Chain A
Amino acid sequence: MTLLSVENLGARHGLLQAVREMSFEVSEGETLALVGANGAGKTTLLRAIAGAHRPSEGRVVFDGQDITAMPAYNRVRRGIALVPEGRKLFGHMTVEENLRVAGAAHREGRWTVDEVFDTFPLLQPLRGRKAALLSGGEQQATAIGRALMTNPKLLLLDEVSLGLAPNVVQTVYDSVARLIEGGTTIVLVEQDLARALAVASRVICMLEGRLVLEGAASSVTREQVTEAYFGLRGAAA
């Protein structure tokens, strides 16, 4: 069943057209990886889906409802959660307070503060520590946990490995893999092709705001994605 439908979506940053005529669907339980070079429009697309960036054209349909004009907080209450690039934690608040803020979504589900600490055991001893004092990996775990606290139907992950040490990235992706196993629908933006292809069931490659490659992660080769990534091919797989 289709959970998210993006139809001819466009988004601008002033005069710059960051996203052009993007159309794709995400089914329930699916993991979609959005890959592309810096400036390809991946983050803008993710933010437009989450309601943090107003699209210039097209529409976003979630769970059967057109949410294009819906403010971000209402989208969260309907079941879309974004882990933003750079984590964006509330640095002056503790880990536990960061998690509890997301209780504002008032969505029923399995995710509670204790459930997040069970999923990310490294956070348990840090629950009273200010978020600004955490390491990069701890911050990323908190950011993912905070998004999960909204009990989302769709989780949007924006560059969760950015700026993290390789062993920390592995820890973060282990937790993402557990979420996928648990049936969470995920759209993730990732620069690391190998990681994206390893966890995703489907992949979309963007170039200069456009979709240039789309296919099942098992059917597209790394070479195909790399060529699309650098603009060496333009056809869908």
Chain B
Amino acid sequence: MINAIIQGILLGGVYALLACGLSLMFGVMRIINLAHGSLALLGAYMTLLVVEHTSLGSYAALVIVLPGALVVGYVLQRSMLERSRRAGELVPLLTTFGLLIVIGNLLEHFFSPDTQSLPAGGIGTSSLHISSSISIGWFDVLTLAVAVAVIGGLQLMLSRTQFGREIRATSYDADTVELMGVNARAVYARATAIAVATAALAGVFYAMRSAFDPTSGGSELIYAFEAVVIGGLGSLWGTLAGGIVLGVAQTVGAQIDVRYFALAGHVVFLAVLIVRAIALANGIRLWGAASA
């Protein structure tokens, strides 16, 4: 059981990484990006493309993929999401759902429906054996460390930099922030660029961890969404906690019966939703905040 909990904490790293961009977009723009998992998957396929056509490995390929993801996010916001956001709360949901389908179909068209995997290098197979029943994979430790670094970096950026202050002010009142000389649309675009880059990074780590195909975006989205909801919408450290809770639930569930891996996570997610609904109805404030 201890090993299951340790593995769950480490697994939570990849979920937290997946979820932090989703959390950022909701915190800043109140947009639930249903294409988030697909954008993560797009990052994985782009990395695959770089790895197959250059001498770069998966990690080095990030030097090309992440700037590309920033550009994709920026253009996506300025061309589609900004218009959708202004059209009402429901429209971004429909737009991003459409995007999810388009990305999935494009990936299937260009990369075939076959299962793929990304090489994780030597670290992917090495582990630290603590006892006969407990061993810790170095790749999982790296994933968790990257998640903590990304979330910590985002939190520092939000709380300590001028851009972070502009993001927080824009998320609070986009009309007033323009009266302070801030271009709210540019802030949204830059925030989306960061969110998509974190999604792509998460997608690469996810793809080095397990096999993927053009339909994997859906499950990536569900895990990211569950981590965000468990940790509290819009709260970055809450997202890390949510990812870890989800990971632990899954690995402990799998310890009981391997078929309960995904189910246990969904049950915890559902339980948190019910607790939150009861708390909301009774005016009780729980963990997590609805602002970045």
Contacts and interface: CB of A to CB of B under 8 A. Distances in A.
Contacts of A91: 172
Interface in B184-208: 184
B169 interface: yes
B222 interface: no
B180 interface: yes
A73 B177 CA distance: 8
Interface in B171-185: 172-173, 175-184
Contacts of A102: 180-181
Given A90-B169, A100-B165, A101-B169, A84 B176 contact: yes
B140 interface: no
Interface residues of B, number: 18
B178 A103 contact: no
Contacts of A149: 180
B162 A73 contact: no
Contacts of B36: none
Given A92-B291, A103-B162, A104-B162, A50 B169 contact: no
Contact of A77 (B165, B173, B176, B181): B181
Contacts of A92: 168, 172, 291
A73 B168 contact: no
A71 interface: yes
B166 interface: yes
A52 interface: yes
Nearest to A72: B178
Contact of A73 (B165, B172, B173, B182): B182
Interface size grouping (class) on chain A: 20 to 34
A92 B8 CA distance: 34
Contacts, number: 70
B180 A104 contact: yes
Given A52-B175, A73-B178, A92-B291, A101 B183 contact: no
Given A92-B172, A92-B291, A101 B179 contact: no
B173 to A, nearest CB: 6
User: Quick one: which of B165, B166, B172, B181 has the most chain A CB within 10 A?
Assistant: B181
Interface string A44-55: 000000111000
Nearest to A78: B181
Interface string A173-210: 00000000000000000000000000000000000000
A71 B183 contact: yes
A212 interface: no
B181 to A, nearest CB: 3
Contacts of A93: 165, 168-169, 172
A56 B172 CA distance: 28
Nearest to A97: B165
A150 B181 contact: yes
A101 B182 contact: yes
Given A90-B172, A92-B168, A52 B182 contact: no
A84 B169 contact: no
Interface string A149-176: 1100000000000000000000000000
Given A92-B168, A93-B165, A103-B162, A50 B291 contact: no
A123 interface: no
A228 interface: no
Contacts of B179: 50-52, 72-73, 76, 81-82, 84, 88
A103 B179 CA distance: 12
A106 interface: yes
Given A52-B175, A92-B291, A105 B180 contact: yes
Contacts of B172: 90-93
A146 interface: yes
Interface string A85-99: 000101111000110
Contacts of B168: 90, 92-93, 97
Nearest to B291: A92
Given A101-B166, A101-B169, A104-B166, A88 B182 contact: no
A104 B181 contact: yes
Interface string B141-170: 000000000000000000000100110110
Contact of A106 (B169, B173, B176, B181): B181
14 contacts: A52-B178, A72-B178, A73-B178, A73-B180, A76-B179, A88-B179, A90-B176, A91-B172, A100-B165, A101-B166, A104-B166, A104-B182, A106-B181, A150-B181
Interface of B: 162, 165-166, 168-169, 172-173, 175-184, 291
Q: Which 5 A-B pairs have the closest CB atoms?
A: A105-B181, A76-B181, A72-B178, A88-B176, A102-B180
Interface of A: 50-52, 71-73, 76-77, 81-82, 84, 88, 90-93, 97-98, 100-107, 146, 149-150
Given A73-B181, A84-B176, A90-B177, 5 more contacts: A52-B175, A71-B178, A101-B165, A101-B180, A104-B181
